[in-house]
A and B are shown apart, each in its own frame.
Chain A
Amino acid sequence: MTAVESVMLPAAAPKPAAEESPARRAFRRLLRRKGAVVGLVVVLTFISFALLANVIAPYSPVEADWSALRGAPTPEHPFGGDELGRDVLSRVIHGAQASLFAGVVSVFLAMLIGIPVGLLSGYAGGLVDGFIMRFTDAMLAVPFLILAIAMAAFLGPSLTNAMIAIGIAAAPIFVRLTRAQVQAVKMEDYVEAARAVGNSPLRIAFRHILPNIWPALMVQATLTIASAIIAEASLSFLGLGQQPPEPSWGSMLNTAKDYMTDAPWMAVYPGISIFIVVLSFNLLGDGLRDALDPRHRE
């Protein structure tokens, strides 16, 4: 997992009137970074592939075609055929659905758990904070993938359970980050002012603090999606994620490793797809971080 420290951003100052909004300014800065733009374009392209898989995939991802059995790439099957003659290109396109969906859903779940807990920990302080932090430390002490494998093992192998396992395993990252950000802003004047006019702690946390720490969380989310996609591919590669015959890039690699001498293309294209998508999310995350915090532009 990417270190939490890498996205420790200063809290955005409250928006001054009649000025360009911070979001627009950040987006303008993001567009100035070539790497981030390339990352954004590639991510959007793969999202389109995933959403339009049924329309653009030339063949069914699960239907066997005995004439293309472990067939080398041809104009009809540009990425070749797999061990059952299924079109590898179509499976890569449909596999994007599982991989991107798993990446996004598991990070959403991690944020859903991590952000409220981090808000509580940072805002409440004292014993509550100590308890939550020790529990978070304990979760972080178990290597991310090993925790995900262990949970997927106990929950049972399926894409849904893999997403739950990855989401829970990634939640401590958001707890840590949210807590650190809350601690950085909770003594700011606008939080004091919100407290002084009688806002409840819950309202202060969600209405005043959260919007100001949101940019840092977004950067972390982007970088965590990259890790989650690799984690899903890893679980599927081990047979704990997407189950056959439905394709995912990890499960395609799992099958491909048994046919490396006869059909190496089965391993090449799903792997390249994972690499490109993860690289793009990393470029986008780096670009977002730089756009949101000028100190990182060294």
Chain B
Amino acid sequence: MIRFLFRRIAILLPTLLFVSIIIFGLQQLLPGDPAIAMAGEERDPQAIAEVRAKYNLDKPIWVQYGLWIGGILQGDFGESIRIQLPVSQLLLEKLPVTIELAILSMLVALVIGLPAGVISALHNGRWPDYVANIIGLWGLSTPNFWLGIMMILFFSVELGWLPASGYVSPTEDLWANLQAMIMPAFVLGTGIAAVFMRHTRSAMLQVLASDYIRTARAKGLYERVVIGKHAFRNAAVPVITLGALEFGQLLSGAVLTEQIFSIPGFGKLIVDAVFNRDYAVVQGVVLCTATAYILLNLLADIAYFLVNPRLRT
């Protein structure tokens, strides 16, 4: 286990280093001189020089990177030029909202995706399989921002059942929070549910064809025991890794979903930052998201290692 962990972390560290280089490199995509852009429209040479000195833009690029990453390692992500607050403070404020949305969406995805995959595999080639496959393709092909708009149109505008937008903290009013989050979580979760459905179906089909399932049935075990205890438990192993990988998709999708439903999370933060040319915030959000994704992958690998005895030999 320790050796496995060391090996994984040895791969993870250079990946994190490259992530930081890519995110720092984004700044180099800015057309023209960033100091001129940041100094305002008057282009006062003194103001430009001050900006250059303040943001270390007068130093060589590798020194700029060293200073930037040194700051990040100490929790200094820079300052938002729009809100005049440390980026780390903004990230800490918005992160819980996006985490809540991601967890609720993951729950929706699991509740829909896993049973649909199992049912589809158990009825392979029959109508429940076709229905599940059609729903799966629908989930994969529907842009979640459009689904969000359509749901607002139906459930908020037509029926008036749910709020069209806004966010209430769960500590303030849990019921209002759930009412505000149910549509965004469904919108975000359906795409991932489709992926879960497809993978669960494929894993179940493979497991159901194996000898030990035939043996379990031959022993006279109830079908629900064969499916629940023997088949599903084994088929669920690859879904663990998939869950972590799909978390990245959730973070991507959250950008648009938060925008549509006006949820003040990471997604809204990055979009607002983009339009205000608040590059430190953009970099901070991207770095946090990527680091979370890498760490989740590590956790998934560890979980996979723990539940799969073959890897431990």
Asked if B150 is an interface residue, CB under 8 A from chain A, the answer is yes
Q: Is the CB of A143 within 8 A of B137?
A: no
Which residues of A lie under 8 Å from residue B205 when comparing CB positions?
A: 298
Q: Is the CB of B149 within 8 A of A257?
A: yes
Q: Is the CB of A137 within 8 A of B18?
A: yes
In the complex, residue of chain B having the shortest beta-carbon distance to the beta carbon of A229: B143
Which one, A141, A238, A261, A282, contacts B137 given CB within 8 A?
Answer: A282
Q: Is the CB of A154 within 8 A of B26?
A: yes
Of B56-64, B106-114, B283-291, the one touching chain A:
B283-291
Q: Tell me if B's interface is mostly helix, strand, loop or mixed.
A: helix
- B residues 123-146 with Cβ under 8 Å of A? 124, 137-138, 140-143, 145-146
Complex Cα distance A150/B130, Å? 39
Complex Cα distance A233/B148, Å? 14
Most chain-A Cβ atoms within 10 A of its Cβ — which of B26, B138, B202?
B26
Which residues of A lie under 8 Å from residue B273 when comparing CB positions?
A: 153
Which residues of A lie under 8 Å from residue B253 when comparing CB positions?
A: 145
Which residues of B lie under 8 Å from residue A268 when comparing CB positions?
A: 150
Asked if A175 is an interface residue, CB under 8 A from chain B, the answer is no
In the complex, residue of chain B having the shortest beta-carbon distance to the beta carbon of A278: B141
Q: Is the CB of A149 within 8 A of B274?
A: yes
Q: Is the CB of B286 within 8 A of A147?
A: yes
Complex Cα distance A188/B161, Å? 62
Complex Cα distance A298/B120, Å? 12
Q: Is the CB of A134 within 8 A of B279?
A: no
Chain B: number of interface residues, binned into ranges: 35 or more
Asked if B305 is an interface residue, CB under 8 A from chain A, the answer is no
Which residues of A lie under 8 Å from residue B289 when comparing CB positions?
A: 142-143, 146
Asked if B226 is an interface residue, CB under 8 A from chain A, the answer is no
B interface footprint on A119-155 (CB within 8 Å = 1, 0 otherwise): 0000000000000001101110111111101111111
Given contacts A141-B290, A154-B27, contact A3 B245 (CB under 8 A): yes
For the complex formed, measure the closest distance between the CB of A229 and the CB atoms of chain B, giving whole angstroms.
9
Asked if A88 is an interface residue, CB under 8 A from chain B, the answer is no
Q: Is the CB of B271 within 8 A of A238?
A: yes
Complex Cα distance A226/B142, Å? 11
Q: Is the CB of A275 within 8 A of B255?
A: no
Q: Is the CB of B22 within 8 A of A142?
A: yes
For the complex formed, measure the closest distance between the CB of A169 and the CB atoms of chain B, giving whole angstroms.
10
- A residues 211-237 with Cβ under 8 Å of B? 226, 230, 233-234, 237
Asked if A279 is an interface residue, CB under 8 A from chain B, the answer is yes
Q: Is the CB of A139 within 8 A of B22?
A: yes
Which one, B21, B31, B143, B152, contacts A275 given CB within 8 A?
Answer: B143
Asked if A100 is an interface residue, CB under 8 A from chain B, the answer is no
Q: Is the CB of A234 within 8 A of B256?
A: yes
For the complex formed, measure the closest distance between the CB of B304 and the CB atoms of chain A, giving whole angstroms.
14
In the complex, residue of chain A having the shortest beta-carbon distance to the beta carbon of B28: A154
Which one, A144, A155, A267, contacts B252 given CB within 8 A?
Answer: A144
Q: Is the CB of B11 within 8 A of A155?
A: no
